[in-house]
Homo-oligomer: A and B are copies of this chain.
Amino acid sequence: MIVTFGETMLRLSPPGHRRFLQADSFDCWYGGAESNCAVALAQMGTPARVVTVLPDNPLGQGCRNELRRWGVDVDFIRMDSSPGARLGLYFCENGVAQRPSQVVYDRANSSFSCSKPGDYDWNVILQDTKWFHFTGITPALGENLRAAVQKACQTAKELGVRISCDLNYRSALWSREEASLAMKEYLPYVDLLIANGGSAYDVLGMGPGFCSDQPLEDAASTAKEIAALYKVPRVAMTVRTSHSASRNGWQAILCEGKKVYISKSYELEIEERIGGGDSFAAGLLDGLYRGKDPQYCVELAAAVSCLKHTVPGDAHILSRAEAEGLIESDTIMPRR
């Protein structure tokens, strides 16, 4: 079992490429960085548990049901029936070509962000599990969650549960300084750190700070530096190249000690950008959980993530076999 800890939100998006101001309906999806990862794992066949808090109203119940639908363990989702309990929301307008996606967050005071460290009994939650996964978004939600993550990491360490962390910096939630302070405290616990050029720079002050168009070599040396400086056994990075507006190059590296493993490179045509990074994490975890070698892991993660860009919605609805198929070949003929 892999345990993820974070917020799941309701996402509301105008259909197609309509702008917010043109919407008279919203498509809805449920998602969040950590639960997206859990869904991806479950879809690929690796057991995954989501730890979070949801309001005990139809929106929160719908969110829990959706996670359950995709095969995620929802036993440690607490349904919050206190007055004022609310589900975190985000509104997302899908960008296209030169027009970037636009996000309006409405997640303040959500049931999850109001939760206390004492709400989570990590000894029970992590019992008989092998991995604990979180991203930088969870501690960004406030002191309480910062402490909850800390406690989770300590307990995981004690129980021999390995820990992965995706830096996932969100400037809307905290400053670079706050993020840096908090995340550096977790690094000693982390067995696998996931970043890209942007978050490595924003949170750790390393590398040149480009989120895209960073040369692969730079990413590799940044990863190696992070691994060395913070003694993180594995550091993975994705490298995005912006050939054109909605077409990107996509590649990934995994650094183990001084060794860097490099995935195939893909040309993305982006149907959905959200959840791409989360499924990258899932791909890595899926490989590591099953004890696969680093080259396989980074290839799987890159392929999984490449394919996620073709699936509408936050959740990764793809099998492991599909990703393995892509690694071997990129033909696109329908199978009849």
Which residue numbers of A lie inside 8 Å of B, CB to CB? Answer: 12, 15-28, 57-59, 61-62, 65-66, 68-71, 84, 86-87, 89, 91-93, 95-106, 108-109, 170-172, 211-212, 242, 244-246, 266-269, 271, 273-274, 306-307, 309-313, 317-318, 322, 326, 330-336
Contacts and interface: CB of A to CB of B under 8 A. Distances in A.
Contact of A170 (B84, B326, B336): B336
A331 B100 contact: yes
Contacts of A312: 16-18, 22
A208 to B, nearest CB: 15
Contact of A19 (B66, B273, B317): B317
A310 B26 contact: no
Contacts of A313: 22
Contacts of A244: 267, 269
B19 A334 contact: no
Q: Give me the 5 closest cross-chain CB pairs, A-B, nearest first.
A: A69-B69, A20-B58, A101-B334, A99-B310, A97-B269
B59 A91 contact: yes
A26 B130 CA distance: 39
Contact of A108 (B109, B310, B311): B109
A333 B211 CA distance: 9
B330 A21 contact: no
Contacts of A89: 89, 106
Given A58-B104, A332-B246, A24 B27 contact: yes
Residue of A267, A273, A332 with most partner-chain B CB within 10 A: A332
13 contacts: A12-B26, A17-B311, A21-B65, A21-B317, A22-B313, A25-B26, A68-B69, A97-B332, A99-B318, A100-B334, A171-B336, A244-B269, A274-B334
A16 B274 CA distance: 17
A245 B70 contact: no
Contacts of A69: 65-66, 68-69
Contact of A212 (B246, B266, B333): B333
A98 B325 CA distance: 10
A25 to B, nearest CB: 5
A97 B333 contact: no
Contacts of A27: 24-25
A68 B336 CA distance: 27
Contacts of A92: 334
Contact of A86 (B61, B106, B331): B106
Given A58-B20, A96-B269, A102 B334 contact: yes
Contacts of A102: 58, 334-335
Contacts of A334: 92, 95, 100-103, 273-274
A18 B108 CA distance: 28
Contacts of A12: 12, 26
Contacts of A71: 65, 68
B86 A326 contact: no
Given A17-B312, A267-B245, A317 B22 contact: yes
B98 A326 contact: yes
Given A20-B62, A109-B109, A28 B26 contact: yes
